[in-house]
């Protein structure tokens, strides 16, 4: 499947355009970020992936739960930066604009967002349910 010039986010204010070649085994994606993604909550992905920054830069904020203690890491990715991430990697992208090349593995799970429950513990919500409940930002 080929996806060409697809806008993501609200139609009147997309945060990204993308071009994708998707096969059952892998995908190759070009992302043009206009701004960061929805940064209200961390998200993960369907597949393991490798990201290469082509131009511009972005901050990748990642979350790790170390025995109940939230550990947030800030990683600045600039042109030429390469990162490999597992599908379960929880992160938020913050940028004022950049281009990335993303190569993914085979889809192996659903993607979603990590939101606090009533007690403050982060729980996973499938993306479709997340956007139904919280909308797009």
Per-residue pLDDT of the chain (137 residues; tens, 9 = 90+): 999 999 888 888 888 999 999 999 999 999 999 998 878 899 999 999 999 999 999 999 998 877 767 788 999 999 999 999 999 999 999 999 999 999 999 999 999 999 989 988 889 999 888 888 887 76
The domain in which residue 106 lies consists of: 2-134
In this predicted structure, what is the pLDDT of residue 58? 96
Do 77 and 133 form a contact (C-beta atoms < 8 A)?
no
In this predicted structure, what is the pLDDT of residue 109? 95
Query: How many independent structural domains does the chain possess?
Result: 1
In this predicted structure, what is the pLDDT of residue 68? 67
| Distance between CA atoms of residues 43 and 110, nearest Å | 11
The pTM for the full model equals: 0.88
What CATH number is given to the structural domain containing 128?
A: 2.60.120.10
**What is the tally of helices (H) and strands (E) in the chain?**
1, 12
């Amino acid at each position: 499947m080929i996806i060409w010039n697809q806008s993501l986010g609200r139609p009147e204010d997309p945060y990204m355009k993308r071009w994708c070649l998707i096969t059952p085994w892998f995908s190759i994606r070009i992302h043009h970020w206009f701004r960061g993604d929805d940064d209200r909550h961390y998200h993960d992905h369907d597949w393991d992936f490798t990201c290469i920054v082509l131009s511009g830069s972005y901050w990748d904020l990642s979350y790790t739960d170390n025995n109940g203690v939230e550990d947030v890491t800030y990683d600045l990715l600039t042109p030429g930066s390469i990162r490999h991430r597992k599908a379960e990697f929880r992160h938020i992208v913050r940028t004022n604009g950049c281009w990335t090349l993303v190569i993914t593995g085979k889809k192996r799970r659903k993607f979603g967002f990590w939101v606090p429950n009533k007690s403050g513990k982060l729980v996973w919500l499938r993306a479709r349910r997340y956007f139904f409940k919280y909308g797009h930002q």
